[in-house]
Amino acid sequence: MAEVISIPRQILHQEVATRLRQRIVEGHIAPGAKLNERELSAALEVSRTPLREAIKMLAAEGLVELLPNRGAVAAQLNRQDVVDTFEVIAGLEGQSGELAAQRITAPELAEIRALHYEMLAAHTRRDLSTYYRLNARIHECINVAARNPVLTHTYRTVNARLQALRFRSNFDERKWKRAVQEHEEMVARLAAHDALGLRALLVTHLEHKRDAVLDLMQRGELQSAPQARA
């Protein structure tokens, strides 16, 4: 008889949080939409207890809002929220880049290069889901290479609110291609230990992300999930 292996409660709700986070980030749950526990329990094949714990985790990250008499809804930022939050994250990423260029080690740079090449392959396949995951990991690696725990904590807190919007910023093919080119330059400036150059590039990169999101908001296209790509 096969041994039944139970999944520890903490690991289970973290796994549920990961899957639910992906649904929100990739637009399968639209901004402002209510999180229906019954439907999500069925879709994720889990009971409501780990689901509720996962929802609380995402609420702490800022991806979910817990509203009186409405329950949990996917967070929705208005135009001014977007402008203000991108202003902060641009400064944090710029600071991360400047410090990382000064402090990065050879193994850390090699890891970022490897992630970059994987990201380019995902872009070639037009696999936005994989591309975004690798892209986010590169930004996180740059932040970690800055070796400032306070900066890392602040960055993760602010960036959590923007994950879904950063994903959507690549819906426009031209802007997606520009983002890839900017990542090429990021790696080059890291390798050259060009601290001020990388700071400026990351600030510009985040401003381009902001502008892409604002354009989607203006056109009323922010709610929809991405179309399948060839």
| 7: pLDDT strictly greater than 60 | no
Task: Output the pLDDT for position 27.
Answer: 87
Choose one of 74, 90, 117: the last residue of a domain: 74
Q: Considering only CA atoms, which of 204, 144, 197 is closest in space to residue 179?
A: 204
Task: Output the pLDDT for position 223.
Answer: 60
The boundaries of the domain holding residue 39 are 9-74
Residue 44 and residue 101 in one domain: no
| 193: pLDDT strictly greater than 90 | yes
| 9: pLDDT strictly greater than 80 | no
| pLDDT (tens digit per residue) in 37-95 | 999 999 988 898 999 999 999 999 889 999 988 889 999 999 999 999 999 999 999 99
Whether residue 228 is contained in a domain is answered as no
Q: What is the mean pLDDT of residues 97-104?
A: 98
Residue 18 and residue 132 in one domain: no
Residue 67 and residue 171 in one domain: no
Task: Output the pLDDT for position 8.
Answer: 55
Q: How wide is the angle at C-alpha 203 spanned by C-alphas 208 and 186, nearest 5°?
A: 90
Amino acid at 138: I
Neighbours of 78 (CB within 10 A): 9
Q: How far, in Å, CA of 42 to CA of 50, rounded?
A: 13
Choose one of 74, 98, 129: the last residue of a domain: 74
Residue 100 and residue 183 in one domain: yes
- The pTM of the full predicted model, rounded to 2 decimals, is 0.84
Whether residue 140 is contained in a domain is answered as yes
Task: Output the pLDDT for position 159.
Answer: 94
Q: Name the domain count of the chain.
A: 2
Q: How far, in Å, CA of 201 to CA of 145, rounded?
A: 17
Residues 6+ apart with CB under 8 A from 50: 9, 12, 13, 16
Q: What is the mean pLDDT of residues 22-47?
A: 91
Which of 11 and 192 is assigned the larger pLDDT? 192
| 140: pLDDT strictly greater than 50 | yes
Contact between 213 and 84 (Cβ < 8 Å): no
Neighbours of 7 (CB within 10 A): 11
Task: Output the pLDDT for position 10.
Answer: 59
CATH number, domain containing residue 34: 1.10.10.10
CATH number, domain containing residue 116: 1.20.120.530
Residue 59 and residue 109 in one domain: no
Neighbours of 124 (CB within 10 A): 10
- Give the three-state DSSP class for 195: helix
- Could you give the residue ranges of the DSSP H alpha helices within 26-105? 37-44, 48-61, 79-103
Two tokens, residue 116:
């970059």
Q: How wide is the angle at C-alpha 185 spanned by C-alphas 183 and 190, nearest 5°?
A: 95
The backbone region for 126, taken as left when phi is positive above 0, alpha when psi lies in -120 to 50, beta otherwise, is: left
Amino acid at 137: R
Task: Output the pLDDT for position 181.
Answer: 97
